[in-house]
Chain A
Amino acid sequence: MNQEWMGPVASHMLSGLYVTLWVSLLTTLVATAIGVAVGALSASTTLWVKFVVRIYIDVFRGVPSLITLLFVFFALPHVGISTGPITASVLGLALWGGANIAETARGALKSISSHQTEAARALGMGKLDALVFAVMPQALRRFLPPYIGQLTVLIQASALTSVVGVTDLLGSARQMIERLAYVSNDAHAVEIYCGVLVVFFVICYPLTLLSDYLERRLRN
């Protein structure tokens, strides 16, 4: 059996994997920043802030991630900002992921009794101090398990970047299959796509186990 095709495919897909990891990392960071900030804002008592936060969360959670990605991809150049497809993808996915994380954060903060805030305020803490030092640490245990679950969703969503032409793991796999189909009569599509599945599984499965473990451990 001829294994010669594997070498170039593996090295090209390794660079694709690097892009996938990079996009996943950036998306995670931006989405987490948006999610935590918006989630904290949802604890605000100002009516219009609550309203804007609600609209953002409901709209971006209710729309397919691919729509937000394509929207940012086309809208940025439309308003005169030219960025590469990777930046646009990260922004599009992070806006969507941020809404999901914000909803989790909102739920976690809401689950902490308002007496905690009142007690902290009575001890002389400012509003922000009460939120950051009294409520947030308690909300963390409710936040962490679903948050890690959402990270796996974000990592999987990074594959969507191939739709706008990013050579991520999936994009590089497709390129190699097209190339192999062109130079030989066997594209090895089954083996190559199975490789992509395995890589995602190896990354995401431990994270789901961690999420399940944390949920069991932090339940009480």
Chain B
Amino acid sequence: MTPNFTNELLVLLDGLGRTLLVSGIGITLGMALGMLMGAARHARIPVLSQLIACYANLFRCTPLLVQVVMLYFALPDLGVKLSPFETSWLALGLWGAAYHTEIFRAGFGAVNPNEVLAARALGMSAPRAFLDITVPLGARAAIPAATTMAITQFRSSSFMIAVGYQELTYVANRMVADTFKVFQVFGIAALAYLIVSNVIAMASRRLEKAVAVPGLGAVK
């Protein structure tokens, strides 16, 4: 029983490793895209801004699971063949980017316009003022919401079971089907998701404190 149990734990840990890998790439991609698209939305660049709004609405109003399945099973018909791994991080990234776009747009919008006016009065060009004033302050304001979304992306990596990527939910589901240890296996998987979510939340609160600008109202 005991060596068997150790073996099963190792299999679950292996799955957790893949979950962390695709989540890590997906979150990074989603935040990077979201920041760029949020900046374009904030700057109200004509046409591009509207296209990004359409993108965000389309990805937020359709299930991630359908997007995942579509990337994996429909794209080959258009000549793009992705592996389960590539599908997983790409789907998480593209889906997350839609939410991060709105989060960063709101963050940039929360920056006091007087700060930007002051920068412009000191002779900064508009792009310079955006990069040096709006982005650093707006990104700070966006930390809590972006963290919540990052955790949601991490949890949603479980949907990659649909394309057979062997992440934590996939291996747990497989193990339960084989061993019928419903409570133990899903209990451990649930605990792993809870622990990682809380670690991300804690790290984010530390980051928020570490980068807080003293005396600036926007960041608590």
* Contact between A66 and B169, CB atoms less than 8 A apart: yes
Count residues on chain A whose CB falls below 8 Å from chain B CBs: 36
B186 to chain A, nearest CB (A): 4
Q: List residues of chain A with CB within 8 A of the CB of B78.
A: 190
Bound state CA distance, A200 and B60, in angstroms? 10
Bound state CA distance, A67 and B46, in angstroms?
42
Contact of B193 among A62, A75, A78, A200 (CB under 8 A): A62
Evaluate contact between B62 and A197: CB separation under 8 angstroms. Answer: yes
Checking B73, B76, B177, B186 against A71 with a beta-carbon cut-off of 8 angstroms, the contacting residue is B186
- Interface residue? B36 (CB, 8 A): no
Name A205's contact: one of B57, B66, B76, B172 (CB within 8 Å): B57
Q: Which of B64, B69, B162, B182 contacts A75 (CB 8 A)?
A: B182
Q: Known interface pairs A74-B186, A163-B162, A187-B77. Does A201 touch B61 (Cβ–Cβ under 8 Å)?
A: yes
A43 at the interface (CB under 8 A from B): no
Q: Shortest distance in angstroms between B26's beta carbon and chain A's nearest beta carbon?
A: 14
**Complex contacts, A200 vs chain B, CB 8 Å:** 61-63, 66
> Which of B84-92, B109-117, B152-160 participates in binding chain A?
B152-160
Task: Give the Cβ gap from B35 to chain A, nearest Cβ, in Å.
Answer: 22
- CB of B213 within 8 Å of the partner chain: no
**Closest CB-CB distance, B12 to chain A, in whole Å?**
12
Inside 8 A of B176's CB, which chain A residues have their CB?
A: 70, 74
Please give the residue numbers on chain A whose beta carbons come within 8 Å of chain B beta carbons, in ascending order.
58-59, 62-67, 70-71, 74-75, 78, 152, 156-157, 159-160, 162-163, 170, 174, 177, 187, 189-190, 192-194, 196-197, 200-201, 204-205, 208
Given A67-B193, A163-B162, 16 further pairs, Cβ under 8 A = A59-B194, A65-B155, A66-B169, A67-B186, A75-B182, A75-B186, A78-B180, A159-B66, A187-B77, A189-B70, A189-B77, A190-B77, A196-B70, A197-B66, A204-B61, A205-B57
